[in-house]
Amino acid sequence: MTIGQKIFYLLEERHMTQKEFSLRTGISTTTISDWRKKNTNPGSDKIMVICAALEVTPEYLLSGVTEDSDRGRNVDYMVIPKGTEERELIELFNDMDWLEREHLLEYARRAIEKKSESGYIDRTENKSMVKIAEFCDVEIFMDSAFKGSPSVDINYLDDNIQGSIRLKEGTIKGGFSKYVIPVIEAWYKEHKVLLIDMWNSQKIEMIPAWE
């Protein structure tokens, strides 16, 4: 049984029309019909979305391994849409040689370990925090809820250190190194008036790049 034939067998088994299958996969009904008329198979780039629509594993669709077997149950997979950063990362990874892949994986592992050890908190998870500036591996966030004293949060990406600036006093809190603090101070002094105006007017805007 070809892959195309197996797809039509599964459609019949699930009482799914070609139109419904087309809506679930984004594949035109004409293309689907051609698999039967011309006895052809779908392209490899369609396999994952087809499996998701039919709720089968790629291994089952391609090799015929039944879903009640150990191999069929243990297969794990995901569908990653085109045009996303995740898809781009995987495509770039596939183009690398084995040594480049090892270096990338090692970098990723160390980055995650470093975040875990430092207690890094991703500010983007807090929906009220809005990133208003980024410079020299420093991210600045302002609370769009405008709660408490006027302030902004700081993330220093290189060392995964968090802190804050009290806007009126200019007080910088956080375990930043003696090399990073002067950079933050210089940025704050240049943008102090704008930052306080943003807080008072409760209108957040992105601050242009600064070096």
Domain 3-74 coded CATH 3.30.70.20: no
In a 13 Å sphere around the CA of 153, the CA atoms on its Cβ side amount to 22
Query: Which two structure tokens, joined as six digits, stand for 92?
Result: 């770039």
Higher pLDDT, 76 or 160: 160
pLDDT of residue 55: 87
Q: Cα–Cα distances in Å, from 187 out to 33, 45, 172, 201?
A: 62, 48, 12, 21
Residue pointed to by tokens 């077997």: 69
Cα separation of 58 and 51, whole Å?
Answer: 6
Which range is most confident: 65-74, 92-101, 156-165, 199-208? Answer: 199-208
Please calculate the CA angle 181-141-145 and round it to the nearest 5 degrees.
Answer: 135
pLDDT of residue 71: 44
pLDDT of residue 168: 92
**Which one-letter DSSP state was computed for residue 119?**
T
Q: Where are the alpha helices (DSSP H) in the chain?
A: 3-13, 18-25, 29-37, 47-54, 58-63, 70-74, 85-95, 98-118, 181-201
pLDDT of residue 141: 93
Query: Which two structure tokens, joined as six digits, stand for 33?
Result: 């019909």
Domain boundaries, the chain: 3-74, 85-118, 123-201
pLDDT digits (tens, 9 = 90+) for 25-80: 889 988 999 888 888 888 888 888 898 888 888 878 877 655 454 444 454 556 67
pLDDT digits (tens, 9 = 90+) for 79-134: 677 788 888 888 888 888 878 888 888 888 877 776 565 444 555 455 688 899 99
Q: What is the mean pLDDT of residues 156-177?
A: 88
Phi, psi angles (nearest 5°) of residue 70: -60, -40
